[in-house]
Amino acid sequence: MRIHKIKHMKRTKLLGTALVLGLAVPAPYVTAAGGAVLSVTQSAYSGQSGQGVTQTVYGSNGNQPILKPSVSQVVYGVADEVYGSAVPLFAIGSSHTLALEADGSVWAWGYNVYGELGDGTDVSRYAPGQVTPLNDIVQVAAGNHNVALKSDGTVWSWGYNLDGQLGDGTSTTRKSPVQAAGLHDVAQVAVGFTHSLALKGDGTVWVWGTDEYGENGLAESSGKLVPEQIPGLNDVVSISAGGWYSLALKSDGTVWAWGSNGDGELGDGTTTSRGAPMQVQGLTDISSISAGLSHAIALQKDGSVWSWGANGFGQLGDGTESDRSVPVQVTAIRGAVAVSAGSAHSIALLNDGSVWTWGSNANGQLGNGDTSTKRSNPVELEGFKAIQVSAGWEASGALDSDGIVRLWGDNLYGKMGQPGKAPVLKPETVAGLPAILLNKR
């Protein structure tokens, strides 16, 4: 793979913000530059000049879709502008939310019984508070526990740890961040329900936590309290963790999966769980992946969307509620620039900025103002334009065209940043979050 390095890529302070939600924490984000909406796939880079992040850009160029990368390989250092003041990251877990500030600090709100908020207490709250001590963070991932990537390539974690998903060599729940043992030169992290993943700059993948269904990819039946490399899995450029399974995108555009497969979420034509990575059938030229609780979505470079796995709520978007063990095309979606799989729903962002949702709507996660109607076909979120979207655990989020983060869905423990327990049925700003985003720009 030939890598072209550039020195500078200017972006506006608002439109560079990224939002990452749920069990699957995809590496891609969406931004805007020169009137274009761009989907950016981030992957590992390691070379003579040091470790960094390779970005492949897809999206729209004015009114014309970009079907091939407009910037084929844009490389930044890990602590460089791609993670600078223009690009805070967010992650919504099972019952709490994280926000990454421009200065590398992390903020959290929601449920805190297991130390999910990382403030040294077990007191839940709906207002954002700082995770301490934690600094120089460049990516966050949230599920039932949290994992954060530092600019020096080390990994830090906190929260629930019964299965060793924090990677510190213990099964002790932590109310403050601890370092995952032995990891360095990491370029991306992801969390599942009870396991964690790290992608190193050399394209290898490391795993720790439970192995109930083979989700650690080690072809073993025991969990790991410290990170261990998945054998035979190389040339990986992006990772995503689902409930009890995982996905990896290779540099050749193929997708590989391992772990639980009861609903066909491995996409190999069977419902047999796998303890080692297997290739997902029929997928080529993939630019990004997203693993939900038990269904998965892949975005092809031509803007088409493919999905597989559980479909009891219509989350595959193929007009049925039948599970699929091989990928099927979401035919209603054309010109997508970003996709995300949640607990039992999905979201796509099109190159015109429109947002489309489908699947379960029990907590208003489709954003259409009610909780009564599940959708097996994508429906546009009317009157709303975005530059980034993501689906989480019965919740959704987007960065709107004004550069403001809006969340909707399950708010039982305050993870939407709203007082009370009622679901948020339409996109709403988060109380206190705009100040966190903008007050230091």
Instruction: Give CA 15 to chain center in angstroms.
Output: 18
* 222 inside domain: yes
Are 338 and 59 in contact by the 8 Å Cβ rule? The answer is: no
Instruction: State the Cα angle at 398 between 394 and 404, rounded to 5°.
Output: 135
Instruction: State the Cα angle at 126 between 120 and 239, rounded to 5°.
Output: 75
* 397 inside domain: yes
Question: What whole-number distance in Å separates Cα of residue 181 and Cα of residue 119?
Answer: 21
Question: What whole-number distance in Å separates Cα of residue 426 and Cα of residue 403?
Answer: 17
* 298 inside domain: yes
For residue 86, which phi and psi values (nearest 5 degrees)? -85, -10
Lowest mean pLDDT across 38-47, 171-180, 313-322? 38-47
CATH for 81: 2.130.10.30
Cross-strand pairs, 429: 406
Name the percent of the chain lying above pLDDT 90.
64
**Domain limits at 410?**
15-438
Question: What whole-number distance in Å separates Cα of residue 437 and Cα of residue 429?
Answer: 12
Instruction: Give CA 301 to chain center in angstroms.
Output: 18
* 427 inside domain: yes
Instruction: Indicate if the pLDDT at residue 47 is higher than 80.
Output: no
Residue type at position 396: S
Count, residues in the chain: 441
Condensed to tens digits (0 to 9), the pLDDT of residues 314-326 reads: 999 999 999 999 9
Element (H, E) at 390: strand 375-391
Question: What whole-number distance in Å separates Cα of residue 1 and Cα of residue 3?
Answer: 6
Total domains in the fold of the chain: 1
Q: Are strands 4-5 and 64-77 parallel, antiparallel or unpaired?
A: parallel
How many CB atoms are closer than 10 A to CB 438? 15
Question: What whole-number distance in Å separates Cα of residue 246 and Cα of residue 191?
Answer: 9
Quote the DSSP letter at residue 82. Answer: G
* 7 inside domain: no
Instruction: Indicate if the pLDDT at residue 346 is higher than 50.
Output: yes
Instruction: Indicate if the pLDDT at residue 388 is higher than 60.
Output: yes
Q: 226 pLDDT band (50/70/90 cuts)?
A: very high
Lowest mean pLDDT across 145-149, 161-165, 326-330, 394-398? 394-398
Instruction: Indicate if the pLDDT at residue 73 is higher than 80.
Output: no
Question: What whole-number distance in Å separates Cα of residue 320 and Cα of residue 38?
Answer: 31
* 9 inside domain: no
List of residues 6+ apart from 111 with CB closer than 8 A: 94, 95, 96, 124, 413, 414, 415
Are 137 and 124 in contact by the 8 Å Cβ rule? The answer is: no
Between 353 and 398, residue with greater pLDDT: 353
Mean pLDDT for all residues in the chain: 80
Instruction: Indicate if the pLDDT at residue 313 is higher than 60.
Output: yes
Between 436 and 366, residue with greater pLDDT: 366
Q: What is residue 89's predicted lDDT score, i.e. its pLDDT?
A: 65
Longest CA span, the chain: 55
Instruction: Give CA 266 to chain center in angstroms.
Output: 18
Here the tokens at position 365 are 């996660």
Condensed to tens digits (0 to 9), the pLDDT of residues 409-425 reads: 999 999 999 999 999 99
* 6 inside domain: no
Q: Cis (ω within 30 of 0) for the bond into 378?
A: no
Task: Identify the burial level of 268 via C-beta atoms within 10 angstroms of its C-beta, where 0-12 means exposed, 13-18 middle and 19 or more buried.
Answer: buried
Q: What is residue 326's predicted lDDT score, i.e. its pLDDT?
A: 98
